[in-house]
Structure 1
Amino acid sequence: MRPLFTPRHLGTALCALLLAGLSGLAAAQTTFDVIGPHEYDLPIDFKPFNVFVQYAYVQRNNRLFDGSGDRAKGPGSTAIVGLSKYVHFWTPESNRNIGLAWEVIVPEISVRGHHPASQSSGIGDPMTGFAIWYKPTPDATVGFQSFVQIPAGDQDVSDTNWKNLSSLFWDVRLTEQWGWTADAGFVFQDDKNDGTKPGTVFHTNQRLGYRVSPLLEPFLALDYERGKRTSTVDGGHALDGGLGLMLHTFDNQSITLRYAKSIRGENHAANNSFNLKYAYVW
C-alpha cells in the first residue's frame, strides 16, 4: 500500500505564492504558477517540521499580448528572480485531523534591459501568511491559504501596494503513479503610489504528474489568470502551458524543473520562462 505521506513531499508543499506581485517589472508569469506535483499532497497528525525553498526563474520579456489578443513586441528585457522561503508546519493538539503552516517569503529581483541597456534590482515586496487543510479521504487533500504582500521592497522593484492572495487548493492521488494538484483563488490589492488602481485577479493552476520511477516525475502544467478592468487599468488574461520534471533526489530534498510559455492572452505579458526550485526539509 502506498504511504499517505513521506518526507520528500514536504519539500514541494505550499510553494504557491510567488508571482502575483513580486514586481510590476518582473511578473510575467501567472499567479501561483510555481506549484508542481505533490504541491498540496500534505499530511495530518504529524510532528512539527520546517521547510526552506529556494526558487529561481529566468523570464524573457520579448513578447506581450495586446488588446486584440495578438502577440506584439515586448520590452525585450530579461528578468532574473529568486525567492527564498521559510515554512513551519504543525498540527494543533486540539484537532490532529487538520494541518497548519505559516511562511515568510523574501523575493530577489533583477530586470535587465538590453536596448537601451538598463538594470533594476533589489529585494522585492515580502509576503507572509498561513495555510490550513484536511484530508477527506486518505488519497485527497483540501485546504485554504491566504497571504499578505507588504509594499516594503526596494524602490526599483516594489509594486508599492498591499495585496491579499487567497485561494482554495486540493490534491488527489488518482493512482499509484498519477496525481493531480491544483488551486483556484483571487488576488485583492489596493492603489499603487502612482494612483493606478489594479483590478482583482482570478487565477487557477493545474498540475498532472506521472511518477515513472522513484526518482523521476514528469508533469504537465496549465495556468490561467484574468484581471478585472478598473478606471485606470484595462482588464486582461493569459493562459500558459508548461512541461516539467520533478526529481525526488532524497527523502528530505527535491528539485523541480519547468519550462512555461503563454498560449494565448489579452492585455497581458507573455510568459517565456525557465523555472527551478530546490526544497530542503528538516
Structure 2
Amino acid sequence: MKNKATTSTKPQLSTAIGTRPARKLKNELQSVLSSESDDQNTSNELSSNLTNRAYATVRSLILQRQLTGGEVLVEGRLVERLQMSRTPLREALLRLEGEGLLVRANARSYSVRRITAALYFQCLQVRERLESQAISLAMGRIPADEIRALRTNILALDSSQQGSSHWQADDEIHGLFARASGNEMLADTIAHLRVLCRLFEVVDPFNRIEDDRKEHLAILDAYIAGDEKRADEAVLDHLRNLARYTLLRLSNGLVSDFG
C-alpha cells in the first residue's frame, strides 16, 4: 500500500509574501524603515528645538536679572512658564551648568551662579590681556562699513536708561573684535568671561551709558583709523574705568559682597 504524501503545514514562501516580486517587497520594506527613521528624526528635531528654546529663555532670564545670583530654580515653575515637559528643560539646565551660569543647589536642583566682586575683578584683569590681544589681531579684518554702522547704533542709544539695547551694543563691540581675531579659543574665552562679569554687574545695574558710549566710540574710532596702539589703549582704558567705577561703588556701599 502506497503511503500518502505528507502535507506540510508550513506556509510556502509564495504564500507568506504573496505573489509580489522580491524587488517590490524590498522597496516596500525600505519605505517602511525610511518612514520610521523620518519619524524618529522629526521627534529628535522637536526635542532639540525645545531644549534650545528652554536654554535661550532661561539664559536670558539670568542675564536680564529676572533670575538673580544664588536664586534656586524651581523646575515646576519653569515648566509652567515655558509650557514644555521636564526633559528638554533639564537638558537646557545641564547645558547652562556646563557654561557656568548655573551651579548645583542639591542633587535635584540648580541655582543661578553667584559672582563675587573679587571674582569679577579677576575676570576684568584677564579680559584686559585677552581683549587687547584680540583687537590687535583683528586690525584690518573688519569692513569699515560694519564699524561705522556699529558706531551709529551706539550714538543712538538712549542715555536715560540701561536696558537690553545697551547690553546688545556692548556685546556687539567686544564680540566683534574677539571673533575677528581669527582665534576661536580666544573668542570663546572672552565671551565666557564677559558672561561672568555680567552676572555680577546685574546685581546692581550700573548707569554708565554715557561713559560706555564715549569709551566704545574711542575704540571704534581708533580701529577705523588703523591705529593699533590707540585702539589697544582705548580697550584697556574702558575695562580699567569700569573696574574703578565698580570699586568706587563698593567703597560707598552701593554694591555689597566683596568676598
TM exceeding 0.5: no
TM-score (norm: length of structure 2):
0.22
More strand by share: 1
More helix by share: 2
Report the structure number with the largest CA radius of gyration.
2
TM-score (norm: length of structure 1):
0.20
